[in-house]
Amino acid sequence: MVTWLDRWPAGPGEGPTVAVKDLIDVEGSVTTAGCRTLADHSPPAGRDALCITAIRQAGGRLVGKTNLHELAFGTSGINPWFGTPANPADPGRVPGGSSSGSAVAAAVEEADVALGTDTGGSVRIPAACCGVVGLKTTHGLISLDGVWPLAPSFDSVGLLAVDVRRVVLGMAMLGVELRDEEVPGVVGRVVLAPAVDVDPVIEAAVDAALAAAGLAVEPVAIASWKAAWAAQQRVLVEEAWRCDHHLLDIDSGAGVSDEIRARLLAGSGIDAATLKADRAAGLAWTAELAELVGRHGILVLPTLAVRPPRLEEFGAAGGFNVLTAPVNFAGFPAISLPVPVAEPGRPAASLQLVGLPGAEGLLCAAAARVEAAVSA
């Protein structure tokens, strides 16, 4: 069970310690992206990614590169080459992906803040699985210079930590100071049934957390949610093919797992007409979601529709990112945080807050309010 792919002692000073998903360049370290081919054939990075430069300038102390789902192209966090980080909330279950190692490092507090990336849920999903806070930032807010691409239309740098305060600290290190904004008294509570089947225990946990925080809700039915998810997934897979298919030509593709090979090849079969239609659907979806979020200020829904599957059962868990990927399709920010469930002995569920582009401050303020309420 491997959390770290490269580990370093924290440098001098008292700045926050920072774990870095091994999709992000750190000078002198090989960026493996969790892939055997890149680990074996890539030279050490010649310079830091721009987000790492910002972290260093802010006094952050890097403590290592964390494991991930291979090429960031999956949601389980299971890695056949380097091992799978152990989920501290429930070791028999998946840690979530793709930022699995970053979620685990944050959860066990081996770093104050962990950097991840989120293309279809890859910060929020492992945060939900491991019981920590995960922030997906507005697409384009944090530079992707020096970050290995998966699907550039959706890739975004994000943060994981044990609480909202540390996520805000991480944003400050990335050069984004978040104001403490006033949280609306009424939020939009997303209703996706019957198109998306969500575990009623999770739905109840979300509702109970909102009530504890004193947030009134207005139901928001979004009939197009699942269609947006399906279209986003096709665009993502096609872009992943264009970004990473060349890895299949190195050593006859021996250093790319069968799972990732199959996903990449699926992207090669998406025709131009389908892709054009899906991108047009993305524009319509963005406008629709903007109208809904603008009307309510914040939309609320679970992060995961189901309990994290057991490691040996994940193959049957289709659509694990069905509640997260549509947010990436629009490029909006979202934050996930753990909320308690009523079922004894069961790890926390996860609540997701979605805002308009640039609303990270509002989302963190709302998340902090919920966090304080459920902690009490």
pTM for the model stands at 0.98
pLDDT greater than 90 at residue 84: yes
| SS3 category, 349 | strand
Class of domain 186-228+273-375: alpha beta
Q: In what order do the strands lie in the sheet with 17-21?
A: 4-7, 61-66, 17-21, 113-117, 157-161, 133-136, 334-339, 349-354, 299-302, 186-191, 216-221
pLDDT (mean) for 347-358:
97
Classify 4-178 by CATH class: alpha beta
4-178 shares its CATH topology with 186-228+273-375: yes
Domain boundaries, given as residue ranges, for the chain: 4-178, 186-228+273-375
Catalytic residues: 21, 98, 122
Question: Is 319 or 156 the better-scoring residue by pLDDT?
Answer: 156
Summarised one tens digit per residue, pLDDT across range 242-287 is 999 999 999 999 999 999 999 999 999 999 999 999 999 999 999 9
pLDDT range class, residue 11, cuts 50, 70, 90: confident
Q: Is 172 exposed, middle or buried (0-12, 13-18, 19+ CB in 10 A)?
A: middle
Write the pLDDT tens digit of every residue in 292-322.
999 999 999 999 999 999 999 987 556 899 9
Query: Per-residue pLDDT for 194 more than 80?
Result: yes
- Is the confidence at residue 1, as pLDDT, over 80? no
